Chains A and B, each alone.
Chain A
């Protein structure tokens, strides 16, 4: 009898411990703050160039506020996108939710998961004034602000390897026609004309964003975003999709591009190792290439430009796409003390001079205003150019997958991947995409 009790107890204890462990696995959005200060949790992306500066801001805050503590956890890009949604659904969200604004933020707002920060910014006009006005667009849903713009303005640009261009004896493209002329020249030398991380799909999407904008202007996607029926049925879309498939058929992208993943930065390695000549990528790629490419960036091997105009296209060549900023939202489920901690984090270290200097040092253009005077180091030219592209753009469009709802974005990404595999025709693509407009 005694033995049986022991068995029961130990079995019960083991199961109990296992269950308890599962329950506590999340980082504890509730975060029982000991003492007066809150203990906010913070989730964001891992890796160069951003992680060290995100960590530095938190360290500064924790040092200045010994009573309250912010605990960060960092994830890889694609893993984070899934993880944060699961955590929100399970009420295990961190206090501070890092994101891209736009459609993803809208879905959090509709679910009542993030705090309305309109009053917070209204009360603290000085804080709002410290941030670039253009960065608030993607943080605003139905006229209310739900996120604090942070970090950097990230237009997507065309990078090229100057050493490879010299080696092949060609100059940087001025128009899309020049690009088409360059492709066979690089292929003849056994160098991939473009590096593309096709497995990640949003990388392919950057191509479509530019090709559509340069061909047809920003109106087509505006209509899609507004949910107008049949918005993709524009002849310019078919034309743009045909051009993209022509690029694939011309072997414009490296061998096996469909299995290259962006999370490992293999696409950028192709460019700085000289296996590929050009790449369309976000401005954050500069920091990655600087951190991983050895002497490639310091020696002036990297060139960049806004995506060139397409001959006969209607789009304004100054237009760009990308991320007008990154965004930190506040979980509505967090305790009052944690929210206070987070707001203090917003209004102090996230807009201080060290924050601004840090992001400049990372090679980026901060969302904090008046940072141009800091563009003096090795990266000054890049930063000035990014700043010019961002501020001169007639339209700074948000990345499509971030602007649309997650449901529509998934269909979009799926069809883009199939388009690049020549699995769907341009017409099928248009039909498939018209089917999810407004969803």
Chain B
């Protein structure tokens, strides 16, 4: 599977360039990551592009070039429209749930309140767990026969969480949000702290309340952070595989079969590496396209946000 390197979080603090010497050191410091990226990002990517024009069952030593056959097979696969729909549905819904909650939590954590440090650590815990572990845990908790609902005898909790199409999508969005909101909160926390206190002081003098300050200062100042965070969410949601695979395996039926799951099933279960690679290329194109689009929406990211501060 090809993963895109997540775009670096752009810090808003202007970095001071200190002459040519540090520039060359910087090159050397970037090198290890760059080498890894070439070996595990770029080279496999070209391999996958080449494979998408070939026929291979994953076992035979020889790989036959076969032109557009794999692309035709992937694009005419009756399961493709549903996989695309599920992918974008998960992307959209998880963005809608995660963004407001992350901004609010981030803003809250950025303030110097009493339990902030403790709570921040608590919020951070889901980020430390692997997706597979999270999925196994939720799968057990939500099991309609052995899970929390059945165990505690709470009828409201005892739904067919993962066995019914719409509920399964909703459950998936919930677990994704639970896992990734901490990360995005952290990004927002950092960004909120970069907003100069003088802006809030000025607003206070002008008589603006908390809510007004949030909408007129915090949110506009977070514009680029929202773009960054949304890019990470949108592109990241394309690669949700482990979570879906362990939670539902794409089921019930094909209700949660996103493109990444479809790719895996074609490649590793149906032994059709060509069409699976074609889907991988589609995923890459969609990911790159989304990143570019979000950057375009955000305008020039190197523009200063602090004018007039």
B8 within 8 A of A: no
B31 within 8 A of A: yes
Among residues of A, the one whose C-beta sits closest to the C-beta of B171 is A259
Is the beta-carbon distance between A18 and B36 smaller than 8 angstroms? yes
Which residues 233-260 of B sit at the A interface, judged by CB distance below 8 A?
A: 248-249, 251-255
Which of B103-111, B158-166, B179-187, B281-289 lies on the face that meets chain A? B158-166
**Given known contacts A85-B59, A112-B60, A410-B265, is B253 in contact with A423 (CB within 8 Å)?**
yes
**Given known contacts A410-B270, A417-B253, is B146 in contact with A259 (CB within 8 Å)?**
no
B168 within 8 A of A: yes
B269 within 8 A of A: yes
Majority secondary structure of chain B interface residues (helix, strand, loop or mixed): loop
Contacts of A85 on B, CB cut-off 8 Å?
58-59, 268, 271
- Determine which residue in A108, A192, A256, A414 has the highest number of CB atoms from chain B within 10 A of its CB, and name it: A256
**Given known contacts A11-B32, A414-B254, is B145 in contact with A254 (CB within 8 Å)?**
yes
Is the beta-carbon distance between B35 and A15 smaller than 8 angstroms? yes
A198 within 8 A of B: yes
- A112 → chain B closest CB, angstroms: 7
Is the beta-carbon distance between B79 and A255 smaller than 8 angstroms? no
B28 within 8 A of A: yes
- Chain A, interface size: which category? 35 or more
- Chain B, interface size: which category? 35 or more
- Determine which residue in B36, B248, B268 has the highest number of CB atoms from chain A within 10 A of its CB, and name it: B268
Is the beta-carbon distance between B251 and A258 smaller than 8 angstroms? yes
**Given known contacts A255-B163, A414-B79, is B268 in contact with A86 (CB within 8 Å)?**
yes
B178 within 8 A of A: no
- A71 → chain B closest CB, angstroms: 23
Contacts of B168 on A, CB cut-off 8 Å?
259
A421 to B160, CA, bound (A): 13
Contacts of B79 on A, CB cut-off 8 Å?
414
B272 within 8 A of A: yes
- B234 → chain A closest CB, angstroms: 27
Which residues 168-226 of A sit at the B interface, judged by CB distance below 8 A?
A: 192, 198-200
Is the beta-carbon distance between B270 and A406 smaller than 8 angstroms? yes
**Given known contacts A407-B271, A421-B252, is B60 in contact with A256 (CB within 8 Å)?**
no
**Given known contacts A85-B271, A256-B163, is B253 in contact with A421 (CB within 8 Å)?**
yes
Among residues of B, the one whose C-beta sits closest to the C-beta of A333 is B61
Which residues 27-41 of B sit at the A interface, judged by CB distance below 8 A?
A: 28-29, 31-32, 35-36, 39
- Determine which residue in A8, A15, A257 has the highest number of CB atoms from chain B within 10 A of its CB, and name it: A15
**Given known contacts A269-B146, A417-B252, is B268 in contact with A11 (CB within 8 Å)?**
no
Contacts of B162 on A, CB cut-off 8 Å?
256, 258-259
Contacts of A411 on B, CB cut-off 8 Å?
270
**Given known contacts A407-B272, A410-B265, is B59 in contact with A261 (CB within 8 Å)?**
no
Residue in A108, A417, A423 whose CB lies within 8 Å of B59: A108
Contacts of A423 on B, CB cut-off 8 Å?
253-254
Is the beta-carbon distance between A256 and B160 smaller than 8 angstroms? yes
Is the beta-carbon distance between B35 and A198 smaller than 8 angstroms? no
Contacts of A199 on B, CB cut-off 8 Å?
248-249, 251-252
Residue in A15, A81, A260 whose CB lies within 8 Å of B36: A15
**Given known contacts A14-B32, A88-B59, A198-B251, is B161 in contact with A406 (CB within 8 Å)?**
no
Contacts of A119 on B, CB cut-off 8 Å?
none
Among residues of B, the one whose C-beta sits closest to the C-beta of A88 is B59
Is the beta-carbon distance between A111 and B60 smaller than 8 angstroms? yes
Among residues of A, the one whose C-beta sits closest to the C-beta of B56 is A89
- A217 → chain B closest CB, angstroms: 29
Contacts of B270 on A, CB cut-off 8 Å?
406-407, 409-411
- A392 → chain B closest CB, angstroms: 34
- B207 → chain A closest CB, angstroms: 55
A387 within 8 A of B: no
A112 to B57, CA, bound (A): 13
Is the beta-carbon distance between A266 and B253 smaller than 8 angstroms? no
Is the beta-carbon distance between A261 and B28 smaller than 8 angstroms? no
- List 12 additional A-B contacts (Cβ < 8 Å) besides A15-B39, A411-B270: A4-B28, A19-B39, A85-B59, A85-B271, A198-B251, A199-B252, A258-B252, A259-B143, A259-B161, A409-B270, A418-B253, A421-B251
Q: List 24 A-B contacts (CB under 8 A).
A: A7-B25, A15-B39, A85-B268, A86-B58, A88-B59, A110-B60, A112-B60, A113-B59, A192-B145, A199-B249, A200-B249, A256-B162, A258-B163, A260-B163, A266-B146, A269-B146, A405-B271, A406-B270, A409-B269, A414-B254, A418-B253, A421-B253, A421-B255, A432-B78
Chain B positions within 8 Å of A, measured between CB atoms, are: 25, 28-29, 31-32, 35-36, 39, 56-61, 78-79, 139, 143-146, 160-165, 168, 248-249, 251-255, 265-266, 268-273
- Ranked 5 nearest A-B pairs via Cβ: A410-B270, A259-B162, A258-B252, A421-B253, A256-B163
